[in-house]
Amino acid sequence: MKLVVFDLDGTITRHDTLFPYVLGFLQRRPWRLPGLLLFLPAVVRFALKRADHGQLKSSLIKATLHGAARAEIDAWTAQFVPALLAHGVFADALDRIALHRARGDRLVLMSASVDLYVPAIGRELGFAEIICTGVRWNGDRLSGELTTPNRRGAEKARCLEALRERYSGLTTVAYGNAGSDLAHLRLADEGVLVNGTSRARRDAARDGISCAEWR
């Protein structure tokens, strides 16, 4: 048995998942679309390096989904996840997940995306454990602040270290796609960069991380 950790966006899925999730919710509730205008100042702050990825993420959720009822979010998640898995994932990723499951490996999904829908994706794909970015609720209404650090870069590396401590007897395999994923791929016994940019592939090769192209 091995401990096998998969990133989500760009590794299993073909694209980012948060914005399509938000946009799909808004398209079914057009009166919420002006919330995107409230998100623009956060985009400017991010472009000027005055906000980080976590702040940008929280700003998007607060501007567009704030106040949504849990039943509304759950109903949309129940539509979004099957459609995503049917049309928005790499076949090679699904094959690799199935291979590790058949070998009896411990599968962990670790994503910077949020717990509005990542746990549902993980359950559908048969992951034993899911680590993702938490979002705050105010009772039965979505608030939008993050309840955990944004699970990206150094934070992902910290989470992988914690997993390695819990499963200290297991060889660790990790899959990711972005330059920011190299931080935790370096810590794995077997790190694999999937569909990385030219720069990320160069950095991966320097660090002894293998590269793969998934379709």
Residue ranges of domains in the chain: 2-212
**Torsion from C-alpha of 10, 15, 16, 20, nearest 10 degrees:** -160
Confidence of residue 38 (pLDDT cuts 50, 70, 90): very high
Answer whether 156's CB lies under 8 Å from 181's CB. yes
Q: Output the pLDDT for position 80.
A: 98
Looking at residue 112, its pLDDT comes to: 98
What number is the average pLDDT over the span 4-33? Answer: 97
Average pLDDT (89-101) is 98
For a pLDDT cut of 70, what percent of the chain falls above it?
A: 100
- pTM of the predicted model, to two decimals? 0.96
Under CATH, domain 2-212 is a member of which superfamily? HAD superfamily/HAD-like (3.40.50.1000)
Classify 114 as helix, strand or coil.
strand
Q: Check residue 196 and report its DSSP letter.
A: -
pLDDT band with cut points at 50, 70 and 90 for residue 102 = very high
Query: What gap in Å lies between CA 149 and CA 154, rounded to an integer?
Result: 10
